[in-house]
Amino acid sequence: MRTYYKDSRRSRISERFFTSFFRAPEGPKPPVFRAISGRRPMVANHRRRCASGQNGDVDLTPLRENHQYRLLFGSGLVTGLGSAATFVAMPYQVADITGSYVAVGVLGLLEIVPLVVFGLWGGVLADRIDRRTMVLVTETAFMFGVVVLLFNAWRGDAAQVWPIYVVAVLISAIDSLQRPSLESIVPRVVPASQLSAAGALNSFRGSSARVVGPAIGGFLIALGGVEAAYLFDLATFVVSATLIFRLDPVPNLRAEHAHPIEELRQAFRYVRTRRDIMGTYVCDTLAMLFAFPFALFPFIADEYDATWSLGVMYTALSVGELIASATSRWSKRVVHHGRFVVFAGMVWGVAIGAAGMVGSIWWVLGCLVFAGAADMVSGLFRMLIWNLTIPDRLRGRMAGIELLSYSIGPQLGQVRATVTARMTSVRGSLVIGGLLCTGAVGSMRGALPELWNYDVRDTLGSVDSPTG
């Protein structure tokens, strides 16, 4: 299955030339987290968990016990590497053909409309047809797009830019159609007690691919040109599609369907009745609107006279995500998921703001690692709230709305960051954005108390539910 968006959220193809090393989602466990969750430290239990290796390491239970999840995980890992290689190759090829930064930037603009239109429609389809079938069909369409890129690259000096642009639109549209179905499969194949572990594993898989995949893409381009990167991605399609084909069918459970427009209205009406879910969307949008830093990275590198750090800054976010994912076992003991969504969003803002106040590029990188970890925590608990509480009949459409919510914030955040930097300075933009993010996300405790008071025990209703 393609992972052109999960990340998703920071999905512009033009950014992936630099930001294939990107993105943030979730993280570890400072002592303050215990206060937020209402848990009291138990020294004996803490020492026992440390001795048994269960205090921080990632929980592998879904991989060990769930064959269906292993198929999904393997497919996502393989396709993530292939996708990252392609998203290094596409902008590289455009730059090589045109020598124009603007031409590379156009790739990102071409994604916006398909994202909005097809994301919602993909959610409707996910609730109407077999989700495995939807993923397989879209995988085939992705393969067609990569074949077009490959034939264009094989033309050598006669290669043109317009086929790359066409494929960029195709990829954006198909990914928007596929992602709601893909994300809606996990709660159908993973029991509720393992969703926290599955979410952490998915994050670990995605961040690993975002760190390793671009390196593979760069190596292949240096070795055999962009053709080698496209061939590698094409090979990953074969493996990914084979694994998805072995997945059990995931049929729609509803007997009747309304008109697609009415079904979208049903989803939006459901969001209005679920203020805790609305809070997850709002928190994420506010965090990205005020503290999304990607547009400032080239200027930060220039300010510190450290051109080498440009790619490393994007990598730092994924490193933070990796560290947080690998130490995420503690998350299954948390019951107040909404509090961690709020708190982690505030920590993201603090880390981005701190990056504007430090005096060394190394401290900036450290702040970005911390920000990546915090964003992983926020994403993990948002996902848990969605997967544990949204009815299966609405999951596809809600995933489509979710896709919009975590994609629009970064788009607007790029504008906010650059406008503020022009009015003040690069450092000023980071500090102001961080402060606004921290304050705005923190205000959700009072503005949307349903999110803050969300308790997973009310959902699970079982004796062995988390106790944190």
Asked if 285 and 403 count as a contact pair (C-beta separation under 8 A), the reply is: no
Encoding tokens for residue 153? 């690259």
Q: What's the pLDDT score for residue 72?
A: 94
Report helix, strand or coil for 26: strand
Nearest to 328 by CA among 25, 24, 27: 27
Q: What's the pLDDT score for residue 255?
A: 60
C-alpha span between 231 and 86 (Å, rounded): 9
C-alpha span between 73 and 100 (Å, rounded): 38
C-alpha span between 23 and 42 (Å, rounded): 34
HEC sequence for 284-338? HHHHHHHHCCHHHHHHHHHHCCCCCHHHHHHHHHHHHHHHHHHCCHHHHHCCCHH
C-alpha span between 403 and 184 (Å, rounded): 12
C-alpha span between 136 and 171 (Å, rounded): 15
pTM of this structure: 0.71
Q: What's the pLDDT score for residue 14?
A: 37
Nearest to 84 by CA among 219, 243, 211: 211
Quick one: CATH architecture of 8-460?
Up-down Bundle (1.20)
HEC sequence for 239-252? HHHHHHHCCCCCCC
Asked if 400 and 119 count as a contact pair (C-beta separation under 8 A), the reply is: yes
Residues written for the chain: 468
Could you count the other beta carbons within 10 Å of the beta carbon of residue 151?
13
Report helix, strand or coil for 250: coil
User: Within the chain, how many helices (H) and strands (E) appear?
Assistant: 21, 0
C-alpha span between 232 and 214 (Å, rounded): 12
Q: What are the CA-CA distances from residue 396 to residues 18, 44, 183 (Å)?
A: 31, 43, 8
C-alpha span between 150 and 154 (Å, rounded): 6
Q: For 209-261, what is each residue's pLDDT tens digit?
A: 888 888 788 788 888 889 999 999 999 999 999 999 999 999 887 667 778 88
CB neighbours of 258 closer than 8 A, spacing ≥ 6? Answer: 266
C-alpha span between 397 and 122 (Å, rounded): 7
Radius of gyration of the chain (CA): 21
pLDDT tens for the chain, 468 residues: list them.
444 333 433 333 333 333 333 333 344 433 333 333 333 333 333 333 333 334 446 788 999 999 999 999 999 999 999 988 887 888 888 878 887 766 776 776 777 778 777 888 888 888 888 999 999 999 999 999 999 999 999 998 888 999 999 998 999 899 889 988 888 899 899 998 888 888 889 888 988 888 888 878 878 888 888 999 999 999 999 999 999 999 999 988 766 777 888 888 998 999 999 999 999 999 999 999 999 998 788 788 889 998 788 768 878 898 999 899 888 888 888 999 999 999 999 999 999 999 999 999 999 999 999 999 999 999 999 989 988 899 888 888 898 888 887 777 887 888 898 889 989 999 999 999 999 999 999 999 999 999 999 999 887 653 333 333
Nearest to 334 by CA among 374, 377, 372: 377
